[in-house]
A and B are shown apart, each in its own frame.
Chain A
Amino acid sequence: MARVFVKGNEAVIKGAILAGCRAFYGYPITPASEIAEAAALLFPKVGGTFLQAESEIAAINMVYGAAATGERVMTASSSPGISLKQEGISYAAGSELPMVVIDVMRGGPGLGNIAPEQSDYHQIVKGGGHGNYKVLVLAPNCAQEMCDLTALAFELADKYRNPVIILTDGFVGQMMEPVELPEPITELPAKPWAVAATAETSGNLISSIYLEPNELELHNKNLQEKFSNITKEEVRYEEIMTRDADLIVVGYGIVSRILQTAVEEARAEGKRVGLLRPISLWPFPSTPLQDLAQTAKAFLVVELSNGQMVEDVKLSLNGRRPTHFYGRMGGVVPTTKELREVIDGLLEKTEAFS
């Protein structure tokens, strides 16, 4: 298969097309614009639709309409744009529409800046829109995963009839790396529920409205059951040198890459450090963390935020082990050296504790 050298943002579009996605509705925003630009170039060439919408809100609603017809469809934006899309994502979750949304996170709050942050964790993983819903969240840390996890996102979206969000950051979106392109998907799943303007589907209804409280409660219960199944089936993570580690560092996206280098350096000095990298942020890899709590003495969570994912790590560990946090904000990305100092400091403390 072809190997290309591309930006993470472009890899997203290649993965989407290979997964059979044929429609992209978007709105320009740094640092996600390359996704729309790649879509504008490539979608028409494969018989697909690209349309630059009048707003983020229009874009997500165009995606909503296209998803209702059964088409594989996507949009992409960055933090402030995603805030605007949240109503549409809630509607899609309520109407059980599959769609893929890419969030290339930037600095906030407000206009913030265009540098990488991970401060959308709460708005993406915990909800963001109104109602009792969840979206599957995948967090790539390289261009290859930008391609592969986007393709996987379409599969999961269709499987569960639910929005899937790729949560990434400006660095992973902007950096270029080699990408091995997967084989194109030739058969898409049947969607008998869709409104496809055919005789067979003319009785179908896509809606999130359930006027009677009892009916809406039942709908919500069905959704919760689906979410419970997803929690059992779709946890994804990567562990690096964790088995004998005293200290487990936890990070996703670009942070996991820096942590990996820090862990490798620490190991070279004989220090027992391991990395757990959540690939699915929802469902969150709680069980692997709990398993590691049996052998590790302490945990360190590193994020480009004020400490958002660390809440899920603490919930998973439930007080069994000390959980530390190190965060940078505003687009400041810690260096390997900086994280080494944090790790070494904690190791000393951890040894003193044991």
Chain B
Amino acid sequence: MVKEVLQKPDSFYDEFVRKPGTNPYSTHYCPGCGHGVVHKIIAEAMDDLGIREKTVFVSPVGCAVFGYYYFKCGNIQVPHGRAPAAATGIKRALPHSIVLSYQGDGDLAAIGGNNILQAANRGENITVIFVNNAIYGMTGAQMAPTTLIGQKTTTTPLGRSAENEGYPLRVSELLATLEAPVYIERVAITDAKHVMKARKAIRRAIQNQVEGRGFSFVEILAACPTGWKMLPVDANKWINDVLMDYFRLGMLKDKNGAAKPAEAVKKESLSTPTPETIIGILGEKQGPQDAYSQPVTDANFHNPRLKISGFGGQGILLLGQLLAQSAMLSNYCSTWLPSYGPEMRGGTANCHVIISDKHIGSPMVAETDVLIAMNLPSLDKFEHDVRKDGVIFVNSSLIERKVARNDVEVVAVPATEIADELDEPKVANVVMLGAYIGYTGLLSAESVLAAASRVVKRKEFMDINKKALTRGMHYAQKHKPQIVEVTA
């Protein structure tokens, strides 16, 4: 046993060559500082558990920022307070690794308070070493969330007051209220007896991770003689007599025997997908048979710029998507731009669709070739944007007034009534889409149904969509001559 204590653990570098200065054998820590002891306990545990090569040590901002001077393992230095977040990214990327996230009290409890809370709550399978010395050490002894009431620091020169700064934060107790963490203990290193307990706790917290049990957290009360302006001996006495009275030592949570976290299990069981699998997941395969014909249309209906508008819930955006997607399946260029930003005012949902046999520049439709108005506010808002000789499709079930323009074609379709007849009021949009392709002949019904099959997954909806589309097409075709006469 004596031999072990005198030896430097293998998980420390033999010489601290990353440390500037002339002495590569001593640490940069002040005399009496707790970090050196905690480092040694961790390194010995790494040795004993045989995990050095797969350990990733996460250094915080603060005095332990230079953890990588000493630990002979993978080292990642991270921004202030963010060690638990970075550790999450590391552990999720490398489930086989042992991630040791090391933080002081300012780093963990103040700026990083939410990060430690959330990592603990997710039950990340990591080990967090929390060194609590009731002060910001590196920046020059300012107040930390753990500074005691009355304790003088450089930012509480008259002593911390509950009125101004609130009460010292008991992080371990706070985390112990969470469901996910498996192990939380507070220890001290003020004498040999306490060091033995701390060794046991840190080893346990790392062992838990090795076994995939989940989030383990050890808080260590440690001295900062320089920051406290005390001799090391007095500093340890202050911890024993004063600090421990507020931060009680002991086990706060112990869920030993907890099941492996789902994440670890999931990662292990997944194999790398083949390129074919990935392509299958990302996109519908489109064979040559999927290129639909481009029916010959009247020049007035060619390369249309459409505005489609109605109220929320009428499936306005979907109508536009089906139209633009069936245009793509018919080898046209097409764009779909949803109502978005300032255009959302007025309670109408609308989208802009452009279909063209040429590359499309601006996806915005100002001057409109075709307006599909599913409700009255849409007609009010957009009828004057329609160009001369353009077409307005009006949902006559909901719009009673006449179109005020006499220089456009008007196609009145009782889309909502037809949808009601089909016992599915939701498909009024598809009825109108049918009327549009029936009237203009721009796209085939097959291409629209193919587009719908990409969007609509349930077969019973496909059947009703097909019916609605057909009804809309027939209605427009049947009424086409009369409607043109009426508007002429």
Chain A contact residues, CB within 8 Å of chain B: 1-5, 14, 17-18, 23, 25, 31, 42, 45-47, 49, 51, 53-55, 57-59, 61-71, 73, 87-88, 91, 95, 107, 113-116, 170-171, 174-178, 181, 183-184, 186, 195-199, 201-209, 211-212, 254, 257-262, 264, 330-333, 335-337
Contact = CB atoms under 8 A, between A and B. Distances in A.
A197 B97 contact: yes
Given A23-B89, A61-B86, A65-B86, A202 B328 contact: no
A2 B78 contact: no
Contacts of B92: 23, 49, 51, 62, 66
Interface centre among B52, B94, B454 (most CB of A within 10 A): B94
A254 B78 CA distance: 36
Contacts of B55: 197, 202
B363 interface: yes
B91 to A, nearest CB: 8
A66 B79 CA distance: 14
B88 interface: yes
Given A25-B89, A65-B88, A197-B74, 19 more contacts: A45-B281, A47-B271, A54-B115, A54-B118, A57-B82, A64-B82, A65-B58, A71-B93, A95-B77, A176-B324, A186-B275, A195-B74, A199-B53, A207-B77, A257-B362, A258-B361, A260-B362, A331-B342, A336-B362
A23 B95 CA distance: 13
Interface centre among B56, B86, B114, B275 (most CB of A within 10 A): B86
Given A51-B92, A197-B96, A175 B283 contact: no
A113 B345 CA distance: 13
Contacts of B68: 205, 207
Given A5-B321, A47-B270, A336-B362, A65 B87 contact: yes
A204 B338 CA distance: 48
Interface centre among B59, B93, B97, B275 (most CB of A within 10 A): B93
A186 B273 CA distance: 11
A175 B351 CA distance: 10
Nearest to B68: A205
A207 B75 contact: yes
Given A202-B52, A206-B76, A14 B282 contact: yes
Given A71-B93, A198-B54, A202-B74, A335 B364 contact: yes
Interface centre among A65, A107, A199, A209 (most CB of B within 10 A): A65
B279 A114 contact: no
A177 B118 contact: no
Given A197-B54, A257-B362, A31 B275 contact: no
Nearest to A207: B77
Contacts of B340: 31, 114-116, 170-171, 174
A66 B93 contact: yes
Interface of B: 18, 20, 52-56, 58-59, 65, 68, 72-79, 82, 85-90, 92-94, 96-98, 114-115, 117-118, 270-273, 275, 277-279, 281-286, 321, 324-325, 328, 333-338, 340-342, 360-364, 366-367, 451, 454
Contact of A23 (B18, B59, B93, B279): B93
Contacts of B454: 5
Contact of A337 (B59, B85, B277, B366): B366
B113 to A, nearest CB: 11
B273 A62 contact: no
Contacts of B18: 205
B94 A5 contact: no
Nearest to B80: A87
Given A5-B325, A195-B74, A202-B52, A176 B336 contact: yes
26 contacts: A1-B279, A2-B282, A5-B328, A17-B282, A23-B92, A45-B281, A46-B278, A54-B115, A57-B85, A61-B79, A61-B82, A61-B85, A65-B78, A70-B93, A87-B79, A95-B77, A170-B341, A175-B335, A176-B325, A177-B334, A184-B278, A195-B90, A199-B53, A204-B74, A206-B75, A258-B362
B73 A202 contact: yes
Given A68-B76, A258-B362, A195 B56 contact: yes
Contacts of A54: 85, 114-115, 117-118
Interface centre among B75, B282, B283, B342 (most CB of A within 10 A): B282
Contacts of A330: 342
Nearest to B90: A65
Contact of B284 (A4, A47, A337): A4
A64 B328 contact: no
Interface centre among B59, B75, B338, B363 (most CB of A within 10 A): B363
Nearest to A184: B275
A17 B278 contact: yes
Contacts of A49: 92-93
Nearest to A2: B283
A178 B328 contact: yes
A209 B86 contact: no
Contacts of A69: 56, 89-90, 93-94, 97
B114 A55 contact: yes
B89 A65 contact: yes
A69 B86 CA distance: 11
Given A183-B275, A335-B366, A61 B78 contact: yes
The 3 closest A-B pairs by CB, nearest first: A115-B341, A65-B89, A2-B283
Contacts of A63: 89
B333 A178 contact: yes
B378 to A, nearest CB: 19
Contacts of B321: 5, 176
Nearest to B86: A65
B115 A171 contact: no
Contacts of B367: 337
A65 B284 contact: no
A145 B76 CA distance: 34
A111 B205 CA distance: 43
A331 B341 contact: yes
B279 A184 contact: yes
Nearest to A49: B92
A68 B118 contact: no
Contact of B89 (A62, A87, A205, A254): A62
A65 B74 contact: no
A2 B336 contact: no
A2 B285 contact: yes
B229 to A, nearest CB: 25
A67 B59 CA distance: 16
Nearest to A210: B20
A58 B82 contact: yes
A174 B320 CA distance: 13
B366 A336 contact: yes
Nearest to A41: B281
A70 B96 CA distance: 14
Contacts of B338: 174-175
B78 A201 contact: no
Contact of A2 (B98, B271, B286): B286
B237 to A, nearest CB: 33
Contacts of B284: 2, 4
A62 B324 contact: no
A113 B282 contact: no
Contact of A196 (B59, B74, B282): B74
Contacts of A61: 78-79, 82, 85-86, 89, 115
A209 to B, nearest CB: 6
Contacts of B285: 2
A18 to B, nearest CB: 7
